[in-house]
Amino acid sequence: MVKILIPKERRAGEPRVAATPETVKRLTKDGFEVWIEAGAGEASFLPDQAYTDAGGKIVSVNASTWSEADVVLKVGPLAVNESLGKHEADALKPEAIVIGLLEPYREAEMVRKLAAGRITSLAMELVPRITRAQTMDALSSQANIAGYKAVVLAASRLTRYFPLLMTAAGTIPPARVVIMGAGVAGLQAVATAKRLGAIVEVSDIRPVVKEQVESLGGRFIDLPFEETGEGAGGYAKEMGEDFLRRQREILTEHVGSADVVITTAQVPGKKAPRLLTLDMVNAMRPGSVVVDLAAEQGGNCELTRAGEEVVHNGVLILGPVNLAASMSHDASMVYARNVLALLQSMMKDETIQIDLEDEVVAGSLLTHAGEITHAPTAEIVQGEQP
């Protein structure tokens, strides 16, 4: 019987868990033995008893547990585990399978260990954005949460109302929100800000998203497009400096009248594009709020500091990290379903089979049979070797 291990996340500030009682019940029904580390779901308010009621087995983490596991489901990358006395990748048996948001662009040492140990790893952030893989798209499920929470965070720190209010003491105009980037996070931010009653303007380098923005009630800021910013797999691509300069000139006027600016632009594996410059922040009114969802990739705003709050000329700039995790219960629920969908796509006769001809598996595969199979990651790892 295939043994699936769900360990507790060791990274500081990571309360999410890679499986929930709901997904454990479905896995046990499919014929798998599911081990859950004691307390793995507690930070997401998923108690051990709920897992055992679903058919899972609560276990203590030790070298034996890890070495016997056929599949390990994770939220974040593998790391040094004090309970094991070693790196988690070193505790796995050859041919074991690891699935998680493995951050291959930043975890070169982990990737080397996985390849050296002949571990098959699939990175959830590499799942191709195709129709068949929508239920597996963890980046989208977590970005959706981040976009929502960014607006709630901004509203809680803004010293004004979001909606138009007509009171006996007079009329209060609605807040004005500018959202940079209309991907999953940006569109959810549009919808949330509109529900709160704000006037919402949106900038994106992909003209194709204009209809989506307007369908949610936002106003699309037209830019001087000479080429599309549509990249592979539905992501935005990196644009040239000339385009970014002209974009900033147009946006400065809109940002200057905004109460809230939410930036969401990210390019996989690269530093976040600089969209909000010092000059643009200087044009904003004191009391305005910036929420930069790209803080972990260097920030879209020139003044962003990851995990910190910065006040510049009365403008509050927030650089939250791992924002989806701040809603750990629902974030875990949807992430676990993403992981389950990927795992079930590889199930056959109560076993897990790695089909290299399957475009979802091939696209998600990070390491396999002693090799780093994801070419961009292989280049990074090779470049960091002494």
Q: Of 78, 63, 80, which is closest to residue 111 (Cα–Cα)?
A: 78
Q: Does the active-site annotation cover 134? A: yes
Query: Hey, what amino acid is at 269?
Result: G
The active-site residue out of 10, 16, 26, 137 is: 137
> What 3 state SS string does 231-261 have?
CHHHCECCCCHHHHHHHHHHHHHHHHCCCEE
Bridge pairing between strands 219-220 and 371-372: unpaired
The partner residues of 28 in beta bridges, in order of sequence, read none
Q: What's the N-to-C CA distance of the chain in angstroms?
A: 42
Whether the CB-CB separation of 304 and 273 falls below 8 Å is answered with no
Catalytic residue among 235, 248, 305, 326: 235
Is residue 278 within 8 Å of residue 302, measured between CB atoms? yes
- Of 109, 34, 125, 32, which Cα lies nearest the Cα of 76? 125
137 a catalytic residue: yes
Give CA–CA dist 30/331, Å, rounded. 24
129, 160, 219, 305: the catalytic one is 129
Of the candidates 25, 139, 103, 7, the residue with the CA atom closest to the CA atom of residue 61:
7
Q: Which of 44, 51, 90, 140 is catalytic?
A: 140
Task: Report residue 277: phi and psi, to 5°.
Answer: -85, 175
Best CA proximity match to 162, nearest among 260, 265, 67, 22: 260
Q: Is 288 one of the annotated active-site residues of the chain?
A: no
Closest to 154 (Cα-Cα) out of 288, 324, 279: 288
- DSSP for 175-206 reads PEEEEE--SHHHHHHHHHHHHTT-EEEEE-S-
Q: Which amino acid is at 136?
A: M
Which phi-psi region, left, alpha or beta, contains residue 230 (left: φ > 0; alpha: ψ -120 to 50)?
beta
Whether 206 is catalytic is no
CB 233 within 8 A of CB 149: no
Among 49, 64, 67, 134, the one annotated catalytic: 134
User: Is 141 an active-site residue?
Assistant: no
- The residues assigned a catalytic role are 129, 134, 137, 140, 235
